[in-house]
Amino acid sequence: GDMFGSLKALPADPILGLLAKYRDDANPQKIDLGVGVYKDEAGHTAILDCVKKAEKYRHDNEDTKVYIGPTGSPLFNDEMSKLIFGNHKVLIENRARTVSTPGGTGALRVAAEFIKSCKAGATIWVSNPTWANHTGLFEAAGLTVKTYPYYDYENKTLDFDGMLAALKEVSSDDAVLLHACCHNPSGMDLTNEQWQQVAEVAKTVGFLPVVDMAYQGFGDGLDEDAYGLRLIADSVEEMIVCSSCSKNFGLYRERIGATTIIGSSANAADIANSVLLSVVRCIYSMPPAHGAALVETILNSDELRHQWYGELKEMRDRINGNRQLIVDKLIENGVTRDFSFITRQKGMFSFLGITPEQVQQLQDEYSIYMVGSSRMSIAGIANSNVDYLAQSIAKVL
Ligand code: PMP
């Protein structure tokens, strides 16, 4: 047969290409600001100590690898729903149903297939810009993707008026994707007052809010980062939250996340849950168990949970510290352009706001790697490289 003969090669993921170039670069001063994973001062993505301890515990205590079922681990799901919602009424009213998923990506795909079950060809609105994979995975699930204004590149801030105006015009049977915190790629988050306004529009218009929370605890704190989605849950009957344990537990390759569906009543949530389980069965049948086992072990132990809070805070403080550090160093190196917006943004990324030519020049002449949009991964900055980074930026400006 020649089924594959009709295929045309697709371009490689630009970030993976960047990573390969970085690896091959012999310059000892090279800096990777491309890939979106947390790194410590030494540029290493270490396994959290609480995870190491949980792994030891699992190793000593697990006695079966039998199937876990499409829901995944009920204990993990319960702990995740509390992490997301705290003591919110949606839990007290028994309106939340959570399934463990293969990472945040799996959570989003499950959500997309679930939305398709509600309405074939439904439209989902995503921010402009958004995480590159959002569009592809929603379209792959058969949804129509449209964008609402979000980042104002010119003024390096949120185009909140544009966003709100667009959300007022969406249809009541559309879905709207919102980033809970640490917006990828802009780092620009909504203020509490802006969340309040979005919650009001969600209620008036009646669209389905779908919240992607891939960085809970990386912005201002675990509860602070969930403030907006909890506010929305105050005022709407139905919503979906997709969360990831990749960043905040450093479990990237274990592939663990969760999809949480909020129904208008306990009974509606049960019906939605039955559809959710059927969606899971038809994609991957059951989620991987190991990452969930680690997370539930940590969250269930007072000692490990507190250790995790500390390790999470350390990652958060380092990222926020790096934001101030690079802005200070740019000033120190005579840069007069205002980069203070970087300190007002949150999470792993900011757009430096330089031209694609300048991005290329940083790469070719200074071995500094970021994606063409000038999105830089803040965790790649360290005390050991920040002077060189600031000097190099100063030279290409
Ligand atoms: N959503 C956003 C906004 C992300 O940035 C990412 C990961 N970079 C994900 C979802 C998916 O995360 P995971 O690796 O857990 O699939």
Cβ of 184 below 6 Å from ligand 1: yes
Q: Residue 12: which pLDDT band, with cuts at 50, 70 and 90?
A: confident
Cβ 92 vs Cβ 263: under 8 Å: no
pLDDT by residue (tens digit) across 339-372? 999 999 999 999 999 999 999 999 999 999 999 9
Percent of the chain with pLDDT over 90: 97
What's the pLDDT score for residue 23? 94
Which residue in 212, 308, 329, 346 is the catalytic one? 212
Q: How many residues does the chain have?
A: 397
What's the pLDDT score for residue 35? 87
Q: Which atom in ligand 1 lies closest to the alpha carbon of residue 182?
A: 3
pLDDT by residue (tens digit) across 58-97? 999 999 999 999 999 999 999 999 999 999 999 999 999 9
Calpha distance 139→295 (Å, rounded): 31
pLDDT surpasses 90 at 198: yes
Cβ 185 vs Cβ 131: under 8 Å: yes
Q: Which residues pair with 151 in a beta bridge?
A: 158
Calpha distance 308→314 (Å, rounded): 10
- Residue to mutate (ligand 1; options 45, 101, 105; most atoms within 8 A of CB): 105
pLDDT surpasses 90 at 14: no
pLDDT surpasses 90 at 15: no
pLDDT by residue (tens digit) across 273-310? 999 999 999 999 999 999 999 999 999 999 999 999 99
pTM of the shown model: 0.97
> Across all residues in the chain, what is the average pLDDT?
97
What's the pLDDT score for residue 30? 97
- Angle at alpha carbon of residue 267, lines to 101 and 293, rounded to 5°: 25
Cβ of 36 below 6 Å from ligand 1: yes
- Residue to mutate (ligand 1; options 100, 126, 133; most atoms within 8 A of CB): 133
Residue 305's Cβ-side half-sphere holds a number of Cα atoms within 13 Å equal to 10
Whether cis (ω within 30° of 0) applies to the bond prior to 185 is yes
Cβ of 244 below 6 Å from ligand 1: yes
Q: Verify whether residue 212 is a known catalytic residue.
A: yes
Give the pairing of strands 175-179 and 208-213: parallel
What's the pLDDT score for residue 13? 83
Cβ of 257 below 6 Å from ligand 1: yes
Q: Residue 44: which pLDDT band, with cuts at 50, 70 and 90?
A: very high
Calpha distance 378→35 (Å, rounded): 10
Cβ 35 vs Cβ 43: under 8 Å: no
